[in-house]
Amino acid sequence: MAQTETTKPNPTVPGRPCPAAGALSLVGEKWSLLVVRELLLGVHRFDAIARNTGAPRDRLTARLRALEEAGVVERRAYSERPPRHEYHLTDAGRDLAPVVTALAHWGSTWLYDEPPVVFHHRDHVAVLDTTPTCTACGSPADHLTPHPHP
Strand partners, 74: 88
Residue 138: its pLDDT value, please? Answer: 84
**Fold topology of 19-95:** Arc Repressor Mutant, subunit A (1.10.10)
Average pLDDT across the chain, whole number: 87
Nearest to 53 by CA among 96, 95, 100, 21: 100
Q: Domain spans of the chain?
A: 19-95
Q: What's the pLDDT tens digit per position in 78-117? A: 999 999 999 999 999 999 998 998 898 889 889 999 888 8
What is each CA distance from 2 to 6, 30, 37, 116, in whole angstroms?
A: 11, 22, 20, 35
pTM of the model: 0.81
Residue 111: its pLDDT value, please? Answer: 93
User: What span, in angstroms and rounded, lies between the C-alpha atoms of 121 and 129?
Assistant: 13
Whether the CB-CB separation of 144 and 20 falls below 8 Å is answered with no
User: What span, in angstroms and rounded, lies between the C-alpha atoms of 98 and 133?
Assistant: 13
